Chains A and B, each alone.
Chain A
Amino acid sequence: MMQFSAQGMTELTKLVVRDPSTAFAIVKAARLPVPASVMMIALAGVIGGFTVGVLDVLTGTPDVVLEFDDGRTATVERAGPILQAIYATATALALALALLWVGRRLGGGGSAPEVLAAVAVLQLVMTVILVAQAISAVLLPMLSLILMIFGLYVFLRGLAHAVNVVHELHNLARSAGVICLSFLGVIIGVMIAMAVFGLGPQATMLGEL
């Protein structure tokens, strides 16, 4: 197993942005153990969730209010930082599993530790961008928007290369297909989980029928 210093992780983060193919090839070769990858995903989830939560407080983001034709309204309550962290972690883990399952069915050869490691590193990179976005939302709101678009670009490009490298698909179009199907699977899974377990955002209904 390769051992990266803090500076090394910073460099790896930069490499994901600059040259994701090489970055994820290194991640794959690094043979990170599963617990380390899960820890990284959880850490990214906690930091990300906390950042979003604090950002909501700092910017005083209004709650989402749904207005129905019959005059009733539903106020969707924002999840707190802890819940946000749990959601982020669970979504990342679900995405990793979906990428592994779909990727292998589409001819990929990546293993669970490799896929988890790739998702973990990508999550860390996204967390860095998210924190930068949160800070700029307070100081320079326009920059925050740019960072959001940049983050989306880095995420999609990074994920495409990660899937391509980890599953050794040698085809970015197939990687994109794996990602689309995986997202679809995660969305369906989340919807089922929400329906069965009553998870997700809670809404307070106002008004009479």
Chain B
Amino acid sequence: MPFDVAAVRADFPILSREVNGKPLVYLDSGASAQKPQVVIDAVTRAYGEEYANVHRGLHHLSNLATEKYEGVRATIARFLGASDENTIVLNSGTTEGINMVAYGWAMENLRAGDEIVLSVMEHHANIVPWHFLRERMGVKLVWVDVDARGDLDPQRVLDAVTERTKLIAVTQLSNVLGTVVDVKTICHAAREKGIATLVDGSQGAVHMPVDVEDIGCDFYPITGHKLYGPSGSGAIYVRAERMAEMRPFMGGGDMIREVHKDRVIYNAPPMMFEAGTPGIVQTIGFGVALEYLMGLGMENIAAHERAVRDYARDRLDGLNWLNVQGTSATKAAIFSFTLEGAAHAHDISTVLDKKGVAVRAGQHCTGPLMTHLGLTATCRASFAMYNTTEEVDALIEALELCHKLFA
């Protein structure tokens, strides 16, 4: 079935609104994607007709909510290509997922002096938890730079591995440069050496089909709100062998089977890692969002976004006063840029906003990458499946105004 962007746009009610008297051009999906009507309806229905706490209730609504909530685990497994739904831990998003790996797996399995290999283009969510281990346990962080095009050579990552390396944690798709990393090569080589791998799928899972078993990673966290689902939803795939090495890092609620004065018996994985009352409705909405994506077909979405990317790249390349960061051949439809003439990214994004174009400005939670690039901030236009080439034109027109105002 061909991808019909007009039909997709019609599914997202917010896209028809105006901002500052101009049609909304939403190019901030890298931060958070808009929600289709099916997700909005699902959330409304869940609160309006199907809500109760999950798992421990014996009444009709609790059973209904539990059924809906637990059904999402299988949906996520299918979306990620995981053959066993018990490898999916439900959580609030990638940040919680990576922190779970840091506290639940790494703290148990790493010692002082052990090394974690990171790329310089990681999001803070895939940096700060490892800094916690550096501060508290003396774990060493080993950084791998990207090249001038913004590519991360898998061989450079593997060259950084030593006998003390216990984990490689890299993004699948840079939220600033748009670079798609060859994580499969890294993960397969790492597994041969017995090194664990975490692939940050926050951006990657949004823009391409994912098969975690084909990638061969041990941990693959995703975030619901970037995948057109509600905020506060997410999950992490944990390979069964690694899950067996983990201890729970948060206590209470669903992760418990029995609690005594002198001992605790935990629930079986994956619920062992799902403490407290979860984001029930958010997760139900997340499941609906993933079903919506799979209905459209991730291959179709990727093809559409490639076409928009190519058009945007051609048009942006024509602006010789614009510095776009990252020129990787694998680049996704994410464009971070600065303007010659030293206008601050915040000023640029403010002017773009007045033209109805929503972009993000700042460091994009990538301090080390900004240092590597020698920048303090950029503007970022991140495209999604509902964006069109006409919206690229609107961005260009607004950028030309910025250039005239600030040059």
Contacts and interface: CB of A to CB of B under 8 A. Distances in A.
A5 interface: yes
Nearest to B344: A2
A7 B404 contact: yes
- The size class of the interface chain B forms with chain A is 10 to 19
Nearest to A164: B21
Contacts of A43: none
Interface in A1-30: 2-5, 7-8, 11-12, 15, 21-22, 25-26, 29
Contact of B354 (A3, A4, A5, A29): A29
A15 B355 CA distance: 12
A11 B354 contact: no
Contacts of B404: 7-8, 11
Nearest to A12: B405
Contact of A5 (B20, B22, B351, B406): B406
A2 B350 contact: yes
Interface in B359-407: 401, 404-407
B401 A11 contact: yes
Q: Is the interface of B mostly helix, strand, loop or mixed?
A: helix
B321 to A, nearest CB: 12
Interface in B317-353: 341, 347, 350-351, 353
B148 to A, nearest CB: 31
B347 A21 contact: no
Nearest to A14: B404
Contacts of B407: 5, 7-8
A12 B404 CA distance: 9
Nearest to B21: A21
A111 B179 CA distance: 44
B20 A22 contact: yes
Contacts of B405: 4-5, 8, 11-12, 26
A21 B21 CA distance: 8
Contacts of B341: 5
A15 B397 CA distance: 13
A2 B347 contact: yes
A8 B21 CA distance: 22
A25 B354 contact: yes
Contacts of B351: 26, 29
A4 B343 CA distance: 9
B350 to A, nearest CB: 5
A96 to B, nearest CB: 22
A165 B320 CA distance: 33
A152 B148 CA distance: 54
B80 to A, nearest CB: 42
Given A8-B406, A11-B405, A22 B354 contact: yes
A49 B353 CA distance: 37
A21 B354 CA distance: 9
A26 B341 CA distance: 18
A26 B350 contact: yes
B97 to A, nearest CB: 37
Contacts of A11: 401, 404-405
A199 to B, nearest CB: 39
A26 B354 contact: yes
Contact of A15 (B20, B22, B401): B401
B61 to A, nearest CB: 42
**List of 5 A-B pairs having minimum Cβ-Cβ separation, nearest first:** A11-B404, A25-B354, A8-B405, A29-B350, A2-B347
Given A11-B404, A11-B405, A29-B351, 7 more contacts: A2-B406, A3-B347, A5-B341, A5-B406, A11-B401, A26-B350, A26-B354
7 contacts: A2-B406, A4-B405, A5-B341, A8-B405, A11-B405, A26-B354, A29-B353
Interface of A: 2-5, 7-8, 11-12, 15, 21-22, 25-26, 29
